[in-house]
């Protein structure tokens, strides 16, 4: 920049068609010299100018400086010319509506560097158009509705576009056809020159779209639906049923339509289908009478309705059948594909049955404790023992395998048991059962015959070894009271597989009630593990 000094600057600008003289006064201002990548310039945004359309006009100072610290655009003094257009405009940028071609320029005084920037711009204005769309309109339907817009002055080869184009045919012409029966604004736009666009709009209200009876209805037998036309009571309404009200109730299958002559002179119509479906009827049927302790299968039998049917029981189970073992009321709900449903209940009961509690195996020293009296007497029952006797009790005087069948006289329900009675006197021997039923996670031990081992009296040293069929040791006990619980190792761990196991027991009886032990005895045998 050159040193500042006071001067009077007479600026003469030679234009294309005329000579304009501008006298600028500045305090010591000389023309600025660029120290940046270019020179400040005047421009518009967009770069083209359309007649009658505002254009953003500005001067870009940045190219004249290396960085933004070398100038303050807000502190500049701006003078825009010709003043006949821009009187009173003294900012870096502004919006302006140009109506004709014109040469504009700006004088921008930089107070920091005390110099003046001047630039000129030839503004070419593309001719403007006056577009006028048709008046807003109300139609009964859009069949054959043609939109139009007129251009002044008439101009050939224009680019037309209407929006929303999705609702019309030929949207890139001056006269598109509307086909969507909806209320909407339609905007017509015409483009000229380097990209100038001029628009106008029209609002179309379609009365036919205001009558909608709703989606078709599926009803269950005995139900009804209210069909609402949504019309004005003042309209001339006629239903297919002959009624003239705004709403009607429908409970029969069929096609329901309504027509209406509106106050606007339109005739509106719509149709709705109603289909009435038969109600399903459900009944709970047991698979037959059952005795106490047995299982009854309850089946839901449905007549009518439309498959598929969904079943839900009061027990929380789903499906057409459930199995029950307890007396009580059981309810099922059956619903078809159209949500038509029915509910039924069944009171389940069980026939009285005998309850036998005799043990399956018994050891008895007949010499000391015999004979054995067995009784299975219960009310309203008959009895049949394996020896042919029919009394409720039996006296057994010797070892035997016997069975009894007890029948309830009213229900004919039966219970039976087979019992093995072994003669065992513990003073000189050890008794081993032939089978046992240990418990499991799904079937806990019930305290009856849950473990296997020896039983006797007057036994001193005792050892018991149990092997599986492959000769693997499954249990080892060193006392008479230590019994095998049916697990591998006998420590309550992994359950052993059901089946036959071999055992070997060695023991020494106590002699004559003293502390002395007699000779060694050995017993070998097989036991059945049952789960």
496-521 pLDDT, tens digit per residue, is: 999 999 999 999 888 766 678 877 88
pLDDT digits (tens, 9 = 90+) for 438-470: 876 566 666 778 899 998 888 889 999 999 999
**What are the structure tokens assigned to 127, written together?**
């001719």
Phi, psi of 20 (to 5 degrees): -115, 135
C-alpha distances (whole Å) from 16 to each of 13, 122, 301 are 10, 10, 102
Pairing of strands 196-206, 184-192: antiparallel
Whether the CB-CB separation of 382 and 407 falls below 8 Å is answered with yes
DSSP 209: G
pLDDT for position 423:
75
- The answer to whether 148 and 126 are in contact (CB under 8 A) is no
Topology, domain 130-208: Immunoglobulin-like (2.60.40)
Q: Where in the chain is the domain with CATH 2.60.40.10?
A: 7-126, 130-208, 211-277, 281-348
Residue 2: CB atoms within 10 Å: 12
State the pLDDT at residue 242.
94
Assigned CATH topology for domain 211-277: Immunoglobulin-like (2.60.40)
Would you give the end-to-end CA distance of the chain in angstroms? 111
Q: Please give the Cα distance from 268 to 210 (Å, whole number).
A: 8
Mean of all residue pLDDT scores within the chain: 86
pLDDT digits (tens, 9 = 90+) for 322-379: 999 999 999 999 999 999 999 999 999 999 999 888 877 777 778 777 788 899 999 9
388/381 Cα distance (integer angstroms)? 16
pTM, two decimals, is: 0.46
pLDDT digits 0-9 by tens, 234-277: 788 999 999 999 999 999 999 999 998 876 677 888 999 999 99
Query: In angstroms, rounded to a whole number, what is the distance separating the alpha carbons of residues 435 and 447?
Result: 15
Phi, psi angles (nearest 5°) of residue 250: -125, 130
Poorest-confidence range of 114-123, 155-164, 376-385? 155-164
Rounded percentage of the chain residues whose pLDDT exceeds 70: 91
pLDDT at 359: 75
Look at residue 1 in the predicted model and tell me its pLDDT. Answer: 31
pLDDT for residue 428: 59
Name the CATH architecture for the domain at 7-126. Answer: Sandwich (2.60)
Nearest to 192 by CA among 153, 134, 164: 153
Q: Which CATH number among 3.40.50.1260, 2.60.40.10, 3.50.50.60, 2.160.10.10 corresponds to the domain 281-348?
A: 2.60.40.10
């Amino acid at each position: 920049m050159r040193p500042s000094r006071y001067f009077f600057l007479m600026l003469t600008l030679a234009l294309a068609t005329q000579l304009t003289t501008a006298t600028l006064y500045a305090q010591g201002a000389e023309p600025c010299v660029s120290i940046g990548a270019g020179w400040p310039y005047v421009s518009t945004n967009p770069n083209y100018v359309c007649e009658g359309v505002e254009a953003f006009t500005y001067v870009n100072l940045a190219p004249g400086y290396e960085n933004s610290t070398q100038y303050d655009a807000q502190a500049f003094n701006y003078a825009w010319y010709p003043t006949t257009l821009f009187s009173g405009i003294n900012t870096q940028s502004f919006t302006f509506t140009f109506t004709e071609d014109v040469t504009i320029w700006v004088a921008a005084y930089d107070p920091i560097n005390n110099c003046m920037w001047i630039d000129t711009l030839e503004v070419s204005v593309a001719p403007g158009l006056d577009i006028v769309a048709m008046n807003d309109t109300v139609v009964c339907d859009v069949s054959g509705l043609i939109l139009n817009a007129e251009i002044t002055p008439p101009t050939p080869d224009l680019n037309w576009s209407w929006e929303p184009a999705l609702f019309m045919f030929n949207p890139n012409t001056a006269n598109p056809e509307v086909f969507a029966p909806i209320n909407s604004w339609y905007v017509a736009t015409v483009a000229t020159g380097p990209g100038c666009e001029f628009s106008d709009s029209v609002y179309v209200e379609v009365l036919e779209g205001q009558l909608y009876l709703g989606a078709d209805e599926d009803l269950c037998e005995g139900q009804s639906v209210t069909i609402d036309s949504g019309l004005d009571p003042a309209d001339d309404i006629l239903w297919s049923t002959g009624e003239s009200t705004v709403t009607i109730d429908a409970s029969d299958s069929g096609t329901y339509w309504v027509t209406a002559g509106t106050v606007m002179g339109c005739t509106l119509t719509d149709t709705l289908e109603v289909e009435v479906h038969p109600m399903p009827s459900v009944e709970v049927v047991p698979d037959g009478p059952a005795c106490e302790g047995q299982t009854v299968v309850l089946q839901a039998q449905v007549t009518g309705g439309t498959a598929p049917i969904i079943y839900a029981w009061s027990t929380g189970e789903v499906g057409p059948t459930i199995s029950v073992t307890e007396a009580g009321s059981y309810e099922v709900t059956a619903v078809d594909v159209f949500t038509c449903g029915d509910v039924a209940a069944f009171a389940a009961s069980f026939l009285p049955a005998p309850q036998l509690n005799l043990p399956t195996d018994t050891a008895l020293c007949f010499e000391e404790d015999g004979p054995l009296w067995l009784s299975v007497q219960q009310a309203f029952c008959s009895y049949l023992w394996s020896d042919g006797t029919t009394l409720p009790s039996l006296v057994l005087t010797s070892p035997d395998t016997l069975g009894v069948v007890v029948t309830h006289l009213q229900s004919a329900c039966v219970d039976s048991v087979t019992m093995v009675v072994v003669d065992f006197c513990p003073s000189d021997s050890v008794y081993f059962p032939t089978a046992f039923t240990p418990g499991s996670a799904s079937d806990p031990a019930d305290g009856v015959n849950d473990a296997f081992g020896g039983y006797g009296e007057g036994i001193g040293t005792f050892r018991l070894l149990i092997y599986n069929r492959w000769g693997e040791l499954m249990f080892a006990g060193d006392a008479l009271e230590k019994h095998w619980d049916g697990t591998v190792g006998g420590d309550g761990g992994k359950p052993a597989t059901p089946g036959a196991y071999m055992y070997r027991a060695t023991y020494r009886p106590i002699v004559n009630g003293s502390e002395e032990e007699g000779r060694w005895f050995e017993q070998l045998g097989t036991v059945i593990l049952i789960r």
